[in-house]
Amino acid sequence: MAIWGQLEFQDGASPLMEQLIFFHDHVILVLVLITILVSYFLVAIMFNKFINRFMLEGQEIETIWTILPALVLVFIALPSLRLLYLLDEVNNPSVTIKSIGHQWYWSYEYTDFADLEFDSYMLPFDELSEGMYRLLDVDHRLVLPVENKIRVLVTAADVLHAWAVPSFGVKVDAVPGRLNQVSFFSSRPGVFYGQCSEICGANHSFMPIVIEVVAPDWFVNWVYEAE
C-alpha cells in the first residue's frame, strides 16, 4: 500500500503491474533525454555568435527534426500497445468474481460457487484492531488464491464507481446496467488495498477494496467455511 510522502508507484504484485512500472521508467528516460537535448540547443542558441542573415531554409535539418520525433514516438508506442493488449486479455481464468459497487460499499459474488456472496463495508474507527489501517480496512476481505488467473466482472447498482487496486495494475469502471471485466495474476501472497476511483457521491472516499491473497489450499478451506 502507499505510505505518506510516497511519490513512486506501489510495489507491483502482478506481472502486469511490473510491466507498467517498466514502461513508466522507459518513458521517463526518453523524456529526460529529450529535455536535456532541447535545453542544450536553447543554451547554445543564446550564446551562439555566428549568425547567417541570408539563410532562409535548411532542408537537411528540417528533415532530421521531423524524422527523429517520429522515431521517438514509435519507440514509445510499441511497448504501449503491447501493454494495452495485455490489459484486455482474459483467457481461461481460474476464479471468477463479480464485484458490484453501491453507495457506498462493495458487494462480491463468487460466481464459481453456489451461495458465496457478501458485502464489504469500511470498518469505522472504533472497530479497528491493532495493525489495521484507518479508512482502508473492511469487515469482509476479498480472498483470492495466489498464482492463479483471476477474472473480475464489475458493475454498479446505482451510480458510476470504479474498482481499482494499484498493486495489481487494474482499474475498471463500474457502470450501472453494464458488465465490464478485468483480469490479473497475483505473483505473491499478501494483503492489497484499493479504493473506488470514480467520484460517486458524499461517501466516495469511504468504500475501500481489500484483497487478501492466500495459498490455494487456504483459499479452498476458506470457501468451504464461508459456504
pLDDT tens track for 47-58: 887 777 677 777
Q: Are 14 and 184 in contact (CB under 8 A)?
A: yes
Looking at domain 15-88, its CATH architecture is: Orthogonal Bundle (1.10)
CA 37 to chain centre: 32
> Residue 150 belongs to what H/E stretch?
strand 149-156
Is the pTM for the entire model greater than 0.75?
yes
Q: How far is CA 33 from CA 28, 29, 55, 179, in A?
A: 9, 6, 29, 42
Do 101 and 94 meet the contact criterion of CB atoms below 8 Å apart? no
The CATH fold of domain 95-226: Immunoglobulin-like (2.60.40)
Q: Are strands 142-145 and 208-214 parallel, antiparallel or unpaired?
A: parallel
pLDDT at 114: 66
Burial (Cβ within 10 Å: 0-12, 13-18, ≥19) of residue 59? exposed
Q: Is the omega angle on the peptide bond into residue 222 within 30 degrees of 0, that is, cis?
A: no
pLDDT tier at 2, thresholds 50, 70, 90: low
Q: Residue 36: pLDDT above 90?
A: yes
Judge whether residue 19 has pLDDT over 80.
Answer: yes
Q: Where are the domains of the chain?
A: 15-88, 95-226
- Alpha carbon distance 173, 178 (integer Å): 10
Cβ-Cβ contacts under 8 Å for 219 (sequence gap 6 or more):
143, 144, 145
Q: What's the per-residue H, E or C state across 100-116?
A: EEECCEEEEEECCCCCC
pLDDT confidence of residue 1: 62
pLDDT at 56: 72
Q: Residue 130 corresponds to which amino acid?
A: E
Whole-number average pLDDT of the chain? 87
State how far the alpha carbon of 100 is from the alpha carbons of 7, 144, 187, 212, 213, in Å.
31, 17, 25, 18, 20
